[in-house]
Structure 1
Amino acid sequence: MTGTALLALMSMGTVGGAHLLSNARWTWRAPRVGIALWQAMGLCWGVATIGTLLGIALWPYSQGIVRGLPDLWADEAARLNALHLAALLAAVSLTAVLLVMLLYAVFRVVRARRRHRALLALVSRRDSAVPDTLVLDHPIAAAYCVPGVRSSKVVVSAGTLELLDPDELAAVLAHERAHARERHDLVLLPFASLRQVFPQIRLVGRSLDAVELLIEMAADDRARRHRTPRELATALLRFAAARPAAAPSGTLGVATSGDIPVMARVQRLMDPEPIRRSTRAAAMAAVPLLVVLPILLYAVPH
């Protein structure tokens, strides 16, 4: 089989893999492994899909993508017919759209955070009961972090201080600091930009939802290193019952929307199930394979 055919198979395979992974529950047992697999699968889809289109466009040169591109440039695409030109245009367009939308997503998030930081400087206050945390005088429960390159800010509302006891509050703050420390916002950016590119495709939305839930579970696990699972679990239940305010754009909140994700997080906190070694090993082996293989196939000739 040619490199183009293999790239096409990988592109279609990642779509099927996304269907399976969005419904998988084993990832809840090892959310960091699941996040890495989602990232690798997303990168594989982009590289393989663009590579498939380039392979079709460069078919007349019979040298694959890497060697065919210089020949394409040298003869000014003289060998290409209408089908090959259409594939080349599609490859260039898809690459440009994905990159532009990713940059646009970064711009929107940075702008939203800058505005929110300016607003926090005006309306937030410090409280000795919650050091290194900004407090908003608002009765509705809210807790979120504003990630940043130099410094991140953890924000809670006055309603949260009244809702939670000191141990539960400490668990929530540990969860938010985990988001900031592990830069989960950067994990979400490519998936959020992909949803902007394909807003009508349900699988893209389901993929983003799955990654968001895994990120919350990963932050739960890190918070559990410093606080007991029960403290965080009861805090999540209190938040769910209080119907907290949605986290502002560009931030990461402690409670995901909907009761099902919250109950899933509570259940795994109170009754954790270890992932099978074979499953973890297979997933970790798949991550570099999904990243490296489509890139190598660019050099395979027709």
Structure 2
Amino acid sequence: MLILATIMGAIAVALAWPVPVALSRARWPSQHPALGMMAWQAVALVGGVTMIGAGFAFGVWPLVEPELRSQLWLVTLTHFALAFSTFLGLHLILTLVMTWYRISRQRLRHRNLLSLLSEPSDLAPNALVIPHDSPVAYCVPGSGQSFTVLSRGLIAHLSDREIKAVIAHERAHLTQRHDLLILAFESWHRSLPWLPTARLARAAVSELIEMLADDAALRVVSKTDLLRALAATLQFSGEQGSVEYDAAADVKKSTFGHPASAERDDAGLPTEVVNSRRLTRLLDAA
């Protein structure tokens, strides 16, 4: 059991620091976002399991080898390891439940606001239009009915094909259930905010889901239309200033152009978006 605990501990340490740092700096996830997403999910899942499992494996060591029970210091240490692993597991589960509850409450409030301030649109199924002059588009996922929200400014300033590109992008978020990915990684970050892998994973996943949505949109619209839609929203977001992004609720109070990280005050500014790997990826492939 000691060997198993050591191996699991070593894997947990590797997935807590050097592996996520290397993965966040790698370029291949931008070229293959689906594989990149799978890699981050594997890092999170295996990292969490080995972190908890190492403590349990070490904690049951005296149970497997009864001759060790006479060593009081070792028994005390193994009991501490068991208690820590149990606490960590319960903490992760409770944080996930609390994050889901908070998100559900936020979405419910947002849906109530949309019922008062928006009007239905025939541009797409379950599409709503809000009275806002800036080009804004986001999606509101739900277990029952999901919505794609567009602003009047976006409809006024973009062409029909560009609007189609925006809608295809936002619908991809809904059909691929990116809200569940955000929920998992946001919960992980809230559980262990001091863990580098949790912080890096949340930022990487926010970027990768946009790339996945772009790829899905490109199956419906041309790359030119998607880039023009991005350029148009970038122009107006620059005039309006920075934008916000609530990763936990998956409600983007922003332009279609970029999901700003919650950790950057200047996120969403045109310079940040132009330099992002997402936009660079589209331009390189154009």
Deviant stretches of 4+, over 6 Å: none
The residue type equivalent to 2:259 in the other structure is T
Identity %: 33
Residue 224 (structure 1) aligned with residue 218 (structure 2): yes
Residue in 1 that maps onto 2:43: 41
For the 8 Å contact 1:142–1:246, the answer to whether it is kept is no
**Alpha-carbon spacing, 1:227–1:87, altered in 2? closer, same or farther (3 Å):** same
Report if the CA contact (8 A) 2:182-2:250 is conserved: no
Deviations 1:103-146 (A, max 9, x none): 11111111111111111111101234555410000112211001
1:236 correspondence with 2:236: no
Matches within 5 A, 1:191-230: 191-230=185-224
Relative to 1, partners in 2 of residues 1:151 and 1:130: Cα closer, same or farther, differing over 3 Å? Answer: closer
Alignment partners' CA distance in 2, 1:225 and 1:109: 30
Q: Which residue of 2 aligns with 1:4?
A: 5
- 2:259 alignment counterpart: 256
Encode CA deviations 1:15-63: one digit per residue, 9 max, x unaligned.
2211111111110111111111111110101100101111221121237
How has the CA–CA distance of structure 1 residues 6 and 203 changed in structure 2, closer, same or farther, with 3 Å as cutoff?
closer
Amino acid at match of 2:92: L
Q: Secondary structure at the match of 1:2?
A: helix
Match of 1:294 in 2: none
Kindly state the Cα deviation for residue 261 of structure 1 after the two structures are TM-superposed: 4.7
1:87 is aligned to 81
Aligned ranges 1:115-264 → 2 under 5 Å: 115-129=109-123, 132-243=126-237, 245-247=243-245, 250-253=249-252, 254=256, 255-257=258-260, 258=267, 259-261=271-273, 263-264=276-277
Give the alignment's TM-score, normalised by structure 1. Answer: 0.79
Structure 2 length-normalised TM: 0.83
Alpha-carbon distance in 2 for matches of 1:117, 1:190 = 22
- Segments of 5+ residues of structure 1 without an aligned counterpart are 69-74, 274-302
The residue number in structure 1 matching 2:15 is: 14
Q: What CA distance in whole angstroms lies between the structure 2 residues aligned with 1:81 and 1:108? A: 40
Give the equivalent residue in structure 2 for 1:54: 56
Amino acid at match of 2:249: G
Distance 2:73 2:195 in 1: 35
In structure 2, the partner of 1:297 is none
Q: What is the alpha-carbon distance in structure 1 between the residues aligned to residue 10 and residue 28 of structure 2?
A: 25
Number of positions where the alignment pairs a residue of Structure 1 with one of Structure 2: 261
Q: CA deviation at 1:203?
A: 4.2
- Deviation (angstroms), 1:251: 2.8
- The one of the two structures with greater contact order (alpha-carbon pairs below 8 A, sep at least 6) is 1
| Higher deviation after alignment, 7-16 or 213-222 | 7-16
1:110 aligns with 2:109: no
Q: Is the 8 A contact 1:142 1:247 kept in 2?
A: no
Say if 1:179 and 1:252, in contact at 8 Å, map to a contact too. Answer: no
Structure 2 runs not aligned, ≥5 long: 261-266
Q: Is residue 178–residue 223 contact of structure 1 (8 Å, CA) maintained in 2?
A: yes
Measured after TM superposition, the shift of residue 165 of structure 1 is 1.6
Find the aligned partners of 2:182 and 2:125 in 1 and give their Cα distance: 28
- Larger deviation, residues 179-188 vs 195-204: 195-204
SS in 2 for 1:155: strand
* CA–CA distance in structure 2, aligned partners of residues 175 and 256 of structure 1: 13
- 1:267 matches 2:280: yes
Residues 40-49 or 201-210, more deviating: 201-210
Q: 1:79: Cα distance to partner? A: 10
